[in-house]
Structure 1
Amino acid sequence: MYGAFLITYTMEIGWDELIRSMSPNLKGFLDNLDSLHYFIDHVVYKANLRGPSFRCEENPDGTLLLHYFTGRPGLYHIVKGVVREVAKVVFDLDIVLVVEGRTQRSVHMNNGERVEEHVVFLVKVTYNF
């Protein structure tokens, strides 16, 4: 629910044109999420944050595999709500997101160690006839 609220709020405060202009379809939107995070973090807020990263693959049956990488484990439920709400509000699609896999690994950085999480979602469009 928080992910859905986040999209509703974001669009109400004036970011709706940016969100709608990112791509004409859901796959393109998901492919551009890294750029959106970079823009928000570095241009809008002038912060030096390391946001999440996304990779999207199209399966032969038309479903999508969304790979979500983050240094903030446990937030993948928010991603589910955000993607579901964007699909509904921006692309007029009802979708189901199923967690296909979730792994965590330790990554050694110059300033210490951190946990990186990788979640794979299967994204399916549902058709209500």
Structure 2
Amino acid sequence: MPKVFTLPVHSSSRGDLTVFENILPGSLKRIFYITNADGETRGGHRHIKAWQALICVQGTCDIYVETPEKKMVFGLDEPNKVLVLEPQDWHTLENFSENAIVLVVSNENYDPEDYIYPSYTDTLAQSELEKYTLKKD
């Protein structure tokens, strides 16, 4: 189930220091960021093993999440707000503001075998179609 955390910010006359620690299980193995995504949709998958934490360090974006139980939307609009996605959380990133930068941290290295692309809705629709097709014959 996705969960939003507020990261601690240590402010001084020299600026703000935002700390990301003890959020994901295990060790951090992969860090990447998304830029220049204006008007595009990113993601569109869930994982088998990987947990991910998403932070919009500049600008804003919306994260659409689908679990077996429900659909949710999370707005990332502060650089100290982090959305943690568990492996079963199917998600897309949309509505990027101009110059948005989304930092993604994962506890797993990239593995194409870890990705599941159909959403729960798509999977359900496909299984219903298969049932109908089987009954029809």
Report the TM range for the smaller structure's normalisation.
Answer: under 0.3
More strand by share: 2
Greater CA radius of gyration, 1 or 2? Answer: 2
More helix by share: 1
The higher relative CO (CA closer than 8 Å, separation ≥ 6) is in: 2
TM-score (ref. length: structure 1):
0.26
